[in-house]
Chain A
Amino acid sequence: MSEYNKMPLLMDLSRKDKFGVSLSDIDVPLSELPESSLLREDIQLPELSQLDVVRYFTNLSQMNYSIDTQFYPLGSCTMKYNPKINDQLASLKGFSNIHPLIEESLVQGSLELMFNLQSYLSNISGMTATSLSTMAGAQGELAGVLMIKAFHEKQSTSSKRNVILIPDSAHGTNPASASMAGFSVKSIPSDQNGNMDIDVLKENANENLAGIMLTLPSTLGLFDNQIVDICNIVHEAGGLVYGDGANMNAWMGQTKLGDLGFDVIHINLHKTFSTPHGGGGPGSGPVCVNDTLLNYLPGPVVQRNSNVYEFVEMPDTIGHLGAFHGNFGVLVRAYCYIRALGKEGIPEVSKNAVMNANYIMNKLKHAYDIGFDNRSICMHEVVFTARKQKQNGVKGLDIAKRLLDYGYHAPTMYFPLIVDEALMVEPTESESKNTLDKFIDAMLQIADECENNSELLHEAPHNTPVQRLDEALAARQPNLKWSTK
């Protein structure tokens, strides 16, 4: 795109004395202006006509890249396609206008929805009970480890179980949550298959072990087939097993973490169950527990007493982690999503998500190395490494930037940290073969460019409104204020 097509800023469009509103006649008595020290003339505000403003924001909105316009290889991690009807249902006045302090008897329908959602999530995860009150994934994690802590303290007042084990492939929020709960964190390395190094786990399975935090499948998009052994080793040492539900899109309806030995998991309703959340919210991270942790659930929990629904607190509850009852609008969306898909539809989601990722992996594995190339099957996401391209001086970052030229959002890059030059692609269940084929073609062309025209990649992107940004300079010397040149 040429300089000509670059979008001017509002300040650049501004011309002195232009204006976009006409004020109505004054119908109150005139009064004096406040004293001049309270009035600032040094603040530069743009002066624009109404049409300037309409065009500016309309053009800006058309530059937006979203799941509604193009393929988004970041997947459910950032946002998968969420049926629009669930937004409409959550906006129904009967849901959206409820005051959080309204008497329970007047909102029995909404409480019933929450009660049913609790049991659906318990059922899908293979757990005994669920609390919907936690408002994000990281808060669900914190609730999970706080329950583990409360459990050990109740078992023995002199408990010295203060270590949480976390694999080195984990999301950064896991060690952060464990630290916030007052635990010390020990990292467990991965073996050459991307699985947990079980010998290191055994070495640390002792009287100091409070529990382990695991993501299944791991952030490498791999299913650790030692999972039952891992749970057994931790349990035999007296610890508990926490599951991070970030990658639930890979297993819902196929297996139940409760059956595998997990004691507590959190579910990201905003990732897996139909809430648009790209850009930071709203989220919802319900926690599901087995019998061991049932009494520790954060409040409030909805129970049915004969035919009346009511909020209750569990006997050993860790308390409330936020105001009121969680992000109710997200709960409505999740409820509608589960009801619409049903028992037959939920397993189809994970099946298609896994199939799509494997299709991409198999089509691209000759052009790009796989992070753990001795694994023939991935789950809902595939981690490539630009190891081969690096020999031609091309980095993962360059490939990601070049994808923008082909009209695609870049995939997750440089995560998981244990894969050199990582590029992680999660297509999700909702993309067609046709869409995936076009993306694969673009990736193959880029692989070809890496060998024959690597300069093109170093300078990419070429077709976007702004070219390669200097991220390091922006972080080292941030310039956050508009000024005339």
Chain B
Amino acid sequence: MSQNEIRYSKEHEWVKSTEQGLFLVGVTEFAQEQMGDVVYVEMDDVGTSCNQFTKVGEIESVKAVSDLYTPIGGEIVEVNEELINNPELVNNDPLNGGWMLKIKVSDIQEINNLMTEEEYKNYIQQL
């Protein structure tokens, strides 16, 4: 996986590499559109270990509360504190400013369980 390449989960989260072994996680454009206006984001604490596809937080929108699943396992080394006061970043800029977690990945091979951009585009077409 090259720098800046994004991979996607079936639960509509994305992951991309930043620096050595550290990956950013957030939700996709499709996810934010489905959820509607996000009003609150709650994420697990820094230092928490998580397995791939397990729950690491909750996203509350005007429609419903949705679980956030991490597309990749590891340790949470940073959460996006900006989202506490500006949850609308998830709607306005889901792929950049709306990032949620920074994860120190334990097994890089897990990336292979995720979809490429093209695969994800096909996936949401069928939904």
Taking Cβ atoms with an 8 Å cutoff, the residues of A that contact B are 397, 414-415, 417, 420, 471-472, 475-476
Contact = CB atoms under 8 A, between A and B. Distances in A.
A476 B39 contact: yes
A397 B64 CA distance: 13
A475 B40 contact: yes
Contacts of B87: 476
A417 B61 CA distance: 13
Contacts of A397: 36
21 contacts: A397-B36, A414-B36, A414-B63, A414-B64, A415-B64, A417-B64, A420-B34, A471-B37, A471-B62, A472-B36, A472-B37, A472-B62, A472-B88, A475-B37, A475-B39, A475-B40, A475-B60, A476-B39, A476-B40, A476-B87, A476-B88
Contacts of A415: 64
Contacts of B38: 472
A476 B34 CA distance: 19
B62 A475 contact: yes
A61 to B, nearest CB: 28
Interface of B: 34, 36-40, 60, 62-64, 87-88
A194 to B, nearest CB: 16
A308 to B, nearest CB: 50
A380 to B, nearest CB: 23
Contacts of B60: 475
Contacts of A420: 34
A417 B36 CA distance: 13
B83 to A, nearest CB: 11
A176 to B, nearest CB: 11
A417 B62 CA distance: 13
Nearest to A420: B34
A445 to B, nearest CB: 25
A397 B61 CA distance: 14
Given A415-B64, A420-B34, A472-B88, 18 more contacts: A397-B36, A414-B36, A414-B64, A417-B64, A471-B37, A471-B62, A472-B36, A472-B37, A472-B38, A472-B62, A475-B37, A475-B39, A475-B40, A475-B60, A475-B62, A476-B40, A476-B87, A476-B88
Nearest to B40: A475
A103 to B, nearest CB: 48
Contacts of B64: 414-415, 417
B39 A472 contact: yes
A476 B36 CA distance: 13
Nearest to A417: B64
Nearest to B127: A420
B76 to A, nearest CB: 22
A476 B41 CA distance: 11
A417 B67 CA distance: 13
A471 B37 CA distance: 9
Shortest 6 CB-CB contacts between residues of A and residues of B: A472-B37, A475-B39, A414-B63, A471-B62, A476-B39, A472-B62
A39 to B, nearest CB: 37
A420 B40 CA distance: 22
A479 to B, nearest CB: 14
A418 B63 CA distance: 13
A415 B64 CA distance: 9
Contacts of B88: 472, 476
Contacts of B34: 420
B90 to A, nearest CB: 11
Nearest to B62: A471
A475 B37 CA distance: 10
A65 B36 CA distance: 27
Contacts of B36: 397, 414, 472
Contacts of B37: 471-472, 475
Contacts of A475: 37, 39-40, 60, 62
A415 B88 CA distance: 23
A170 B37 CA distance: 23
A417 B64 CA distance: 8
Nearest to A475: B39
Contacts of A417: 64
B123 to A, nearest CB: 15
A74 B8 CA distance: 37
A476 B40 CA distance: 7
A176 B121 CA distance: 33
A10 B64 CA distance: 34
Contacts of A471: 37, 62
A397 B88 CA distance: 19
Which residue among A420, A471, A472 has the maximum number of chain B CB atoms within 10 Å of its CB? A472
A414 B66 CA distance: 13
A343 B106 CA distance: 64
A415 B62 CA distance: 12
A476 B39 CA distance: 5
A414 B38 CA distance: 15
A166 to B, nearest CB: 14
Contacts of B62: 471-472, 475
A361 to B, nearest CB: 23
Nearest to A397: B36
Nearest to A471: B62
A475 B39 CA distance: 6
A161 B118 CA distance: 42
A470 to B, nearest CB: 9
A420 B64 CA distance: 13
A420 B127 CA distance: 10
A458 to B, nearest CB: 15
A475 B41 CA distance: 12
B59 to A, nearest CB: 13
A397 B63 CA distance: 10
